[in-house]
Amino acid sequence: MEQQITIARPADEVFAYLADLTHLRHWLPQLRREETELPDAGLESDRAAGTVRWSFDPAGEWRVHGTKGVTTLTLSLQRDTAQAADPTGPETPEDAARFSAEAALQSLKSHLERAGGGDPDLHTADVSSRAFGHSATSDPNI
């Protein structure tokens, strides 16, 4: 499976962030919980190639390509399925893998752009609660 996202940060900064083991929790969904131990091996980075690879499950690779302060980040995973969040629900293993990859990309984007983006670890106090000119309530005067 392969997915990509554009991040409004220089490629060197994105690469350094991905290559730092302390940031694994921001992009590897199974490590989002604090009590889960971080792997101490299995992450390889190649600055010249712009790749960060990992061998722990699910094995994969980030490819970083940037131009003029904007980075295209590509996520490649060696498998196309994952365990569904709710095994009794309608989500297929393929959907679960896709949703997990999308969550990892969005989390990285919000962390690197410092834009919030719904990531629970980032809070953006200066952002209005009125999205697209609509009130969050039924009262249009609020």
Question: Which residues are within 8 A (CB) of 31 and not within 5 positions of it... i.e. 6 or more apart?
Answer: 24, 25, 38
Residue 94 lies in a domain: yes
- Computed from CA positions of residues 12, 18, 23, 28, in that sequence, does the dihedral angle turn out positive or negative? positive
Residue 32 lies in a domain: yes
Nearest to 115 by CA among 103, 104, 127, 105: 127
Residue 126 lies in a domain: no
Number of domains the chain contains: 1
Is the per-residue pLDDT at 130 higher than 60? Answer: no
Q: What per-residue confidence (pLDDT) applies to 98? A: 83
pTM of the complete model beyond 0.85: no
Question: Which residues are within 8 A (CB) of 33 and not within 5 positions of it... i.e. 6 or more apart?
Answer: none
Residue 30 lies in a domain: yes
Residue 101 lies in a domain: yes
Residue 139 lies in a domain: no
Tell the burial category of 61 from Cβ atoms under 10 Å away from its Cβ (0-12, 13-18, 19+). Answer: middle
Using one digit for the tens of pLDDT, what is the confidence trace for 4-35?
Answer: 999 999 999 999 999 887 777 777 655 455 55
Using one digit for the tens of pLDDT, what is the confidence trace for 41-99?
Answer: 677 899 999 999 988 767 889 999 999 889 999 988 887 777 776 677 788 888 878 88
Taking phi over 0 as left and psi of -120 to 50 as alpha, with beta for the rest, 104 belongs to alpha
CATH number of domain containing 105: 3.30.530.20
Main-chain dihedrals φ then ψ at residue 123, nearest 5 degrees? -125, 135
Q: Which domain range does residue 28 map to?
A: 2-113
> For 99, how many CA atoms within 13 A lie in the half-sphere containing its CB?
12
Residue 140 lies in a domain: no
The SS3 assignment for 74 reads strand
Residue 65 lies in a domain: yes
Is the per-residue pLDDT at 109 higher than 50? Answer: yes
